[in-house]
A = this chain, B = another copy of it.
Amino acid sequence: MSAPGPIDHRDAIPAVRAVFDDIKRTRRVEDVNNFWKYLAHDPALLARTWASVKEVMAPGALDPLTKEMVYLAVSVTNGCGYCIASHTAAARKAGMSEAMFGELMAVVGMANETNRLANGYRVPIDPAFE
């Protein structure tokens, strides 16, 4: 009945190893973090999730740092402890300074506050925003 643990590279089937290897190559890390070792229980989910993350987080119209900070903003809003820890680390690695982190949290806090003020005061959308 206990929760299944992480699947390490040495215990993984080839399809999982291939994903792990691509994560390590793409991110230039020595090992994948726990998130991937747990998703490895479902190789199809692992492969699909990694393919999407890789595509979504690649540099494009938005740079990787901005994307990591947005990821962190969502995780903080949802209160996902694991995601907050891992994406804080990722955003720092991508260049987030202490000052940027402070301002990011200030915006996230403010948005969560004013979202509820708009809800509570039942503010109708301005025609200009339609």
Task: List chain A positions with a Cβ less than 8 A from chain B.
Answer: 1-4, 33-35, 38-39, 41-42, 44-45, 48-49, 52-53, 55-57, 60-62, 66-67, 69-89, 92-93, 97-100, 102-126, 128-130
CB contacts (< 8 Å) of A83 on chain B: these are 111, 114-115, 118
Copy tally for this chain in the complex stands at 6
Interface contact B122-A85, CB-CB below 8 Å: yes
CA distance A89 to B126 in the complex (A): 11
Which listed residue, B38, B98, B110, B130, touches A123 by the CB 8 Å rule? B38
24 pairs, A vs B, C-beta closer than 8 Å: A1-B93, A34-B123, A42-B99, A42-B105, A48-B55, A48-B106, A52-B52, A52-B110, A53-B110, A60-B103, A61-B97, A75-B115, A76-B119, A78-B115, A79-B79, A82-B119, A82-B123, A82-B125, A85-B129, A89-B129, A105-B117, A108-B116, A108-B120, A110-B113
